[in-house]
Structure 1
Amino acid sequence: MPTIIKSVKGKSPSWGSDCYIADNATLAGDIVMGDRCSVWFGAVLRADVDAIRIGSEVNIQDLACVHQTAGIPVLIEDGASIGHAAVVHGATIRRNALVGMNATVLDHADVGEGAVVAAGAVVLKGTKIPPGEIWGGVPARRLKAAEPGQSRVFADHYLYIKEWYSND
């Protein structure tokens, strides 16, 4: 199945240099992505009613869904990692933060720099996660402080492995 790159209401996805977009990923609408990003198999980024803005060195892993709400764009800053099958909806993910596998981050939530949202967690609408904290559970709550650089490990890993695919 080929990658789907779709214009919506006259706006088309764009991305910087040295990005990897998997064969069956979908990017639709008002998406702007920086350099050295990766969007993996089955991921869907849909920006039809508002924007999705993604920094550099971001990875959006297999089956993740990134979507916005009218008046609530998605912002994913440099070095963030969006785990397998995670949902980011109308939220802000700060620099070097990690959203774990099958986690959900809802409208107006703000995941702080270097913070970690644990696998399976649900970050409710409007929740503000401070920098450098690990949150988990349903609804998500503070579990403990993250180790310095803990979340960045995943971003660095995906910068490395995307090269295995980019050179084909």
Structure 2
Amino acid sequence: MENGMTMAGVTLLPFDGATPDVSRAGFVAPGSRLIGDVVLGEGASVWYNCVLRGDVAPISVGARTNIQDGTVVHVTTKQYDTVIGADCLIGHLAIVHGCHLHDRAFVGLGAIVMDGCVIESDAMLAAGALLTPGKRILSGQMWAGRPAKYVRDLTEEDLAAHRKGVAGYVELARRHAAALAG
């Protein structure tokens, strides 16, 4: 794939010898652009008009994670690669940059996660929030604001809603893939 490849409106571009691996993904929407060292886990979904650019360090996306419409995922250096765990929800128009999201992390609509940040399992960055470099959201916490700060602990109902959201996106991805297959 010397000059890249477009399949069903998805652009997969090799960079510096690395080609995106979407072989186990559940759904990659038309209009998405994946560049370089990007690996999608089993059943992961990348929605319409997302950009995942693994040109200076790897991007890894875990199983059943969904990256919603218009999101940008990038890296800074090998020091700040981007690792996104399994069963994560990443809302529309988010920016995820050089950070680690543990399994079941939640990034709200339009939120920004900057270099060196960590969002632990079952933790949430609220819609529109800005998590400044090097910050860590502990498991079970919700942070909000610009810059983001701790707001409260998540309830069992919050966590159940996140799990339901992941399952809903897995099913919706299946339906979109089937509709596009004709």
Per the normalisation by structure 2, the TM-score is: 0.89
Distance in 1, matches of 2:142 and 2:162, equals 10
**Which residue, out of 37, 47, 62, partners 1:55?**
62
What displacement does 1:156 show? 1.4
Residue in 2 that maps onto 1:76: 84
Residue in 1 that maps onto 2:175: 164
Q: Which moved more, 1:46-55 or 1:14-23?
A: 14-23
Q: Secondary structure at the match of 2:76?
A: coil
Task: Deviation per CA, 1:30-84: give whole Å up to 9, x if none.
Answer: 0111100110000100000000011100100000000001121000000011110
Structure 1 unaligned regions, length at least 5: none
Structure 1 stretches (4+) deviating beyond 3 angstroms? none
What displacement does 1:16 show? 4.2
1:30-109 maps to which residues of 2 (within 5 A)?
30-71=37-78, 72-109=80-117
What displacement does 1:153 show? 2.7
Structure 2 unaligned regions, length at least 5: 1-7
Q: Secondary structure at the match of 2:116?
A: coil
8 A contact 2:85–2:104 mirrored in 1: yes
Distance in 1, matches of 2:108 and 2:46, equals 15
Q: Which moved more, 1:8-17 or 1:146-155?
A: 146-155
Structure exhibiting the larger radius of gyration computed from Cα positions: 2
Distance in 2, matches of 1:139 and 1:25, equals 29
Distance in 1, matches of 2:147 and 2:163, equals 24
Task: Deviation per CA, 1:111-164: give whole Å up to 9, x if none.
Answer: 010111100000010001000111100110111111232432321110111111
Distance in 2, matches of 1:16 and 1:3, equals 13
Distance in 2, matches of 1:103 and 1:63, equals 12
**Percent of aligned pairs with the same amino acid:** 32
Per the normalisation by structure 1, the TM-score is: 0.96
Residue in 2 that maps onto 1:129: 137
Q: Which moved more, 1:81-90 or 1:140-149?
A: 140-149
Return the letter of the residue paired with 2:122. G
- Supply the RMSD in Å over aligned alpha carbons: 1.2
